[in-house]
Amino acid sequence: MQTNQPYDYSIPDVLSGQVVPGKRCVVNFGKGTRLVMGMVVGVQDAPDYAGTLKPIQSVLDKEPVLDKELLQLSSWLANDSFAFWITCLQTMLPTALRTETKRIGKMDEFTLVDKGHVQTVYYVHPAQTAADYATIQASVRSNAKKQLALVAELSHLSQSQGEVAAHALTREYGITLGMLKSAADKGWLRLEERETYRHPYAELDDMPRTKPLQLTDQQQKAYDAVAKSIKGQQAATYLLEGVTGSGKTEVYLQLMAAAQAAGKDALMLVPEIGLTPQMVARVKGRFGSQVAVLHSGLSDGERYDEWRRIARGEAHVVVGARSAAFAPLHNLGLLIMDEEHENSYKQDDAPRYHARDVLRWRSEYNHAPLLLGSATPSLESRARAEKGVYTQLLMPERANKQPLPPVDVIDMREADLDEYSGDFSAQMLAAIKDCLSQGNQAVLMLNRRGFSSFVMCRECGYVAKCPNCDISLTLHMDTHSLRCHYCGHEEAIPRVCPSCGSKRIRYYGTGTEKVQQTLGKLLPDARIMRMDVDTTRRKGAHGRILKEFGEHKADILLGTQMIAKGLDYPDVTLVGVINADTALGLPDFRASERTFQLLTQVSGRAGRAEKPGRVLVQTYNPDHYAIRLAQKQDYERFFALEMHMRHEGDYPPYYFTFKLTVSHEDEDKAAKAIFRLADMLQKGLSDQAIILGPSRAAIARVKRKYYYQLVIKYKNEPELQAVLESMLESTQVSSRSGYQIAFDREPLSFI
Ligand code: ADP
Ligand code: ZN
Ligand code: ZN
């Protein structure tokens, strides 16, 4: 049964003094002999529990892994996101410390598997005098070359009072650790084991440091405002609206330096895909080995080491993706969130937190300013700036005074697309040729992945669907298979229709792979690089593609949304959007906002240096306001118009929202449960609250479970917290009968 409360255990004498809040420990939980990992959240003289207490079995950590701030944060997070407290505690720890209980043999026999491996290296110290080594040398057989080399080395060390790393001896003489250990047993030497860190970006630590740039007037104004709050230890939130290329990153860097000068730590969040090696290099270039980097592209071990460097106060500047919001810095003086509008800051598993809210909490706790930056702030943040909750800072010009690139919209309804040019209008193709003929580079964005969306029978309309989920399978030409993007199910592409036996199976939709092939035929001399989920699956692939494109090893970079962020290459003079409409077609109230953001971001990739750039956008909706205003890069008009639409539709930011989703293997049970919850809400909330649904989720079946949902829209509901809490409690019982309820505060979408 899932549980959501602290439990009392006694501290046995052998552990006295070791049990401290923030340390992980092992306890016997429930009936039987089941051992689980627990987190010490408090120590008190007398128990709250009246029965007999079980003792804590062992303590896993020498030092607390969560400090007072993070413990308090975990409790707030559990409350705010309606997640179990233990889930929140686990979320804050690096994977390596999330000890799992693993079933061995019978039901209630569990063992602890600690994935927290500290990497160590051995050092060799001499244990005898040079004279002793001379004696030892005489006793070694003359053909035992390695032993002789070792003794010579030891003799040398005993005179210089030095030490040598074991791996150096292995490299030089082939002396293994085993040989060293037996030599240690004979008393020849002393072996010392020392902890080391894996350095994911070691090569960047030795780079020459970059100097701060002379700030432009608009940068200086933004800097001064936030720097004042750093010095004054104010928990203010700033919203920096700066067009792409306005020099937001330089402002971040100088503010981090200001925090350092004040003896404080700085934390900067960047969207996962914005955390390019280029970005890391910019921060490391300024702060060197002071910087720790945390993102999912690192191995568990690397992340664990970076995390420990932070926790131990050895790194004072942290750059990371969403989960770095929990970086164990002890003395925060500045928090930054770049591209604050990005969806990837919201976690879509429990706890469903938004990193922005976590940073705001830490900003309050530490009396440190929070700086949110974006060229296209989320409507929520911009509305808060309007109300004075956040302080608005503006940087409307590019740092190099270059104008923003002109954006041309191509109406695809009128474009003459012959069979041969596939997804390319004549204008787009001409622009690419023109760009390449001048030795420049082009970036092309396609709002999709895969070769083509789906497979359909032309005879009977059969579409290949996932057997576990309510969704069509995606075609992948690289593996010649159909894959489900939800559960990973994979199967061969059918040659004949499984439904009617016809051979008229066709591929529909477009994908990066297909566009790459078309482009290869249209421009046989162009070197094309592709960047999407499939080509970046392997560790480091993302960075390698960007690096090679930066070295001009390709003329065209073709990719999905992930190319819209952070690219800053002087030779890119053309940005082409092949299909601007994909997001607009979704039944989602944020569709316009997303389209506007994406087009603005990707346009910002062109003409960043001296060479002027241009942007071409192919669309079937040239009159849509999101596309028209993105063309003019007019955020203010877009904000005004979109706020009006949201007001009309009672959508955020005019309303708060909360989504509840129930799942069960039995569809009937899932449906009944969601209606029960709707009933509870109706009774508990005021009649100003609006409940959308209950309804079947847009993708009603995933991994063999059925999903039903409802969305609450509300303005002021003091009772909501209590109602939801009682639901959370009831799930502790119902999860035994196969129900699951997902709580989602401010969901990213209603579908
Ligand atoms: P943003 O993050 O707003 O998109 P960047 O920080 O990447 O913008 O800056 C865009 C370009 O302008 C970069 O090449 C950067 O080196 C340059 N730049 C930024 N600030 C200055 C400055 N004060 N003086 C000269 N160049 C600058
Ligand atoms: Zn068929
Ligand atoms: Zn599936």
DSSP string spanning 149-190?
A: HHHHHHHHHHHHT--EEHHHHHHHH---HHHHHHHHHTTSEE
Between strands 705-714 and 656-664, the pairing is antiparallel
435 CA from centroid of ligand 3 (Å): 42
Query: Who surrounds ion ligand 2 at CB < 5 A?
Result: 457, 459-460, 462, 497, 499-500, 502
Q: What is the largest CA-CA distance in the chain?
A: 96
Region of residue 574 (left: phi > 0; alpha: psi -120 to 50; beta: else):
beta
Is residue 274 within 6 Å of ligand 1 at its C-beta?
no
738 CA from centroid of ligand 3 (Å): 20
213 CA from centroid of ligand 1 (Å): 9
688 CA from centroid of ligand 2 (Å): 50
Tokens of residue 405, six digits: 């690139």
Is residue 179 within 6 Å of ligand 1 at its C-beta?
no
447 CA from centroid of ligand 3 (Å): 22
Q: Which amino acid is at 344?
A: S
- What topology is assigned to 13-114 in CATH? GIY-YIG endonuclease (3.40.1440)
Count the Cβ atoms, other than its own, within 10 Å of residue 734: 19
Which segments of 604-648 does DSSP mark as H helices, in order?
A: 625-631, 635-648
What is the strand order of the sheet 120-126 is part of? 164-165, 120-126, 189-195
Q: Which residues contact 180 (CB under 8 A, 6 or more apart)?
A: 122, 124, 150, 166, 169, 189, 191
Residue 535 CA neighbour count, 13 Å, CB half: 24
Is residue 253 within 6 Å of ligand 1 at its C-beta?
no
Name the one residue in this structure whose structure tokens are 């100097």.
211
Q: Which residues contact 509 (CB under 8 A, 6 or more apart)?
A: 448, 450, 452, 453, 454
Which CATH architecture best describes the domain 407-451+510-646? Answer: 3-Layer(aba) Sandwich (3.40)
Is residue 247 within 6 Å of ligand 1 at its C-beta?
yes
Q: What's residue 679's pLDDT?
A: 93
Burial class (CB in 10 A: 0-12, 13-18, 19+), 597: buried
Given a contact cutoff of 8 angstroms between Cβ atoms, the answer to whether 600 and 376 are in contact is yes
Is residue 276 within 6 Å of ligand 1 at its C-beta?
no
Find the Cα–Cα–Cα–Cα dihedral 101, 107, 109, 115, rounded to 10°.
-20
Tokens of residue 616, six digits: 């071409």
CA–CA separation, 408 vs 613, rounded Å? 12
Is residue 322 within 6 Å of ligand 1 at its C-beta?
no
Is residue 213 within 6 Å of ligand 1 at its C-beta?
yes
Is residue 404 within 6 Å of ligand 1 at its C-beta?
no
Partnered with residue 278 across adjacent β-strands are none
713 three-class SS: strand
For residue 560, give the nearest of 605, 513, 523, 606 by alpha carbon.
513
Best probe residue, ligand 1, of 278, 342, 398, 400 (max atoms within 8 Å of C-beta): 400
CA–CA separation, 227 vs 258, rounded Å? 7
For residue 250, give the nearest of 340, 356, 336, 366 by alpha carbon.
336
E strand or H helix at 100, and its extent? strand 100-103
Burial class (CB in 10 A: 0-12, 13-18, 19+), 306: buried
Q: What is the DSSP letter of 220?
A: H
Residues comprising the chain, all counted: 751
Cis peptide before 351 (omega within 30 of 0): yes
Is residue 601 within 6 Å of ligand 1 at its C-beta?
no
E strand or H helix at 696, and its extent? strand 690-702
The residues of the chain that CATH labels 3.30.70.600 are 656-745
Burial class (CB in 10 A: 0-12, 13-18, 19+), 185: exposed
Is residue 244 within 6 Å of ligand 1 at its C-beta?
yes
Name the one residue in this structure whose structure tokens are 């970076």.
306
Is residue 216 within 6 Å of ligand 1 at its C-beta?
yes
Burial class (CB in 10 A: 0-12, 13-18, 19+), 88: buried
Count the Cβ atoms, other than its own, within 10 Å of residue 396: 12
Question: How many angstroms separate the Cα of 150 from the Cα of each of 135, 168, 175, 182, 282?
Answer: 14, 11, 8, 12, 44
Q: What's residue 417's pLDDT?
A: 60
Query: pLDDT tens across 318-349, in order?
Result: 999 999 999 999 999 999 999 999 999 999 89
Ligand number nearest CA of 505 is 2
For residue 356, give the nearest of 346, 366, 365 by alpha carbon.
346
13 three-class SS: helix
Nearest residue (by CA) to ligand 1, atom 6, is 247
Burial class (CB in 10 A: 0-12, 13-18, 19+), 459: middle
746 CA from centroid of ligand 3 (Å): 26
Ligand number nearest CA of 462 is 2
Divide the 751 residues of the chain into consecutive groups of 10 and give the mean pLDDT of each group: 80 94 89 82 91 91 93 95 91 80 42 57 90 90 90 90 87 90 92 83 82 96 98 97 93 98 97 81 92 88 91 95 96 97 92 97 98 96 96 93 87 68 85 95 78 69 79 75 80 88 76 84 93 77 86 92 76 89 71 90 77 88 91 93 92 94 92 92 92 84 90 93 87 72 89 71
Q: Which residues contact 500 (CB under 8 A, 6 or more apart)?
A: 457, 459, 460, 462
Nearest residue (by CA) to ligand 1, atom 23, is 215
Residue 249 CA, closest ligand 1 atom number: 6
The residues of the chain that CATH labels 3.40.50.300 are 202-395, 407-451+510-646
Q: Which residues contact 639 (CB under 8 A, 6 or more apart)?
A: 379, 382
CA–CA separation, 733 vs 1, rounded Å? 7
Is residue 250 within 6 Å of ligand 1 at its C-beta?
yes
Count the Cβ atoms, other than its own, within 10 Å of residue 684: 16
For residue 513, give the nearest of 451, 600, 572 by alpha carbon.
451
Is residue 24 within 6 Å of ligand 1 at its C-beta?
no
514 CA from centroid of ligand 2 (Å): 24
Count the Cβ atoms, other than its own, within 10 Å of residue 193: 10
Q: Which amino acid is at 285?
A: G
Cis peptide before 467 (omega within 30 of 0): no
Find the Cα–Cα–Cα–Cα dihedral 239, 244, 247, 249, rounded to 10°.
70
Name the one residue in this structure whose structure tokens are 């900067």.
268
Q: What's residue 9's pLDDT?
A: 95
125-160: b (≥16 Cβ within 10 Å) or e: bbbbeeebbeebeeeeeeeeeebbebbebbbebbee
E strand or H helix at 437, and its extent? helix 426-437
610 CA from centroid of ligand 1 (Å): 13
347 CA from centroid of ligand 3 (Å): 21
CA–CA separation, 177 vs 382, rounded Å? 60
Q: What's residue 435's pLDDT?
A: 95
Is residue 400 within 6 Å of ligand 1 at its C-beta?
yes
Name the one residue in this structure whose structure tokens are 């602890």.
112
Count the Cβ atoms, other than its own, within 10 Å of residue 42: 8
65 CA from centroid of ligand 1 (Å): 38
Is residue 310 within 6 Å of ligand 1 at its C-beta?
no
Query: pLDDT tens across 44-57, in order?
Result: 998 888 889 999 99
145 three-class SS: helix
247 CA from centroid of ligand 1 (Å): 4
Name the one residue in this structure whose structure tokens are 């080995």.
289
CA–CA separation, 667 vs 672, rounded Å? 9
634 three-class SS: coil
417 CA from centroid of ligand 2 (Å): 28
Tokens of residue 199, six digits: 């350095």
Q: Which residues contact 474 (CB under 8 A, 6 or more apart)?
A: 449, 450, 453, 454, 482, 483, 484, 485
CA–CA separation, 519 vs 423, rounded Å? 9
- Strand segments, DSSP code E, in 214-280 are 237-242, 265-269
Is residue 246 within 6 Å of ligand 1 at its C-beta?
yes
Tokens of residue 117, six digits: 């491996």
Is residue 411 within 6 Å of ligand 1 at its C-beta?
no
Best probe residue, ligand 1, of 223, 239, 250 (max atoms within 8 Å of C-beta): 250
472 CA from centroid of ligand 3 (Å): 9
The CATH superfamily of 202-395 is: P-loop containing nucleotide triphosphate hydrolases (3.40.50.300)
Is residue 245 within 6 Å of ligand 1 at its C-beta?
yes
Name the one residue in this structure whose structure tokens are 């401010």.
746
Q: What's residue 32's pLDDT?
A: 72
411 CA from centroid of ligand 3 (Å): 36
Which segments of 523-615 does DSSP mark as H helices, in order?
A: 541-550, 591-603
Partnered with residue 122 across adjacent β-strands are 193
484 CA from centroid of ligand 2 (Å): 20
CATH for the 656-745 domain, from 3.40.50.300, 3.30.70.600, 3.40.50.2300, 3.40.50.1360: 3.30.70.600
CA–CA separation, 650 vs 31, rounded Å? 50
420 three-class SS: helix
Is residue 301 within 6 Å of ligand 1 at its C-beta?
no
Is residue 399 within 6 Å of ligand 1 at its C-beta?
yes
Count the Cβ atoms, other than its own, within 10 Å of residue 231: 15
CA–CA separation, 691 vs 711, rounded Å? 6
Ligand number nearest CA of 219 is 1
Best probe residue, ligand 1, of 215, 248, 249, 342 (max atoms within 8 Å of C-beta): 249
Tokens of residue 343, six digits: 């969806």
Is residue 633 within 6 Å of ligand 1 at its C-beta?
no
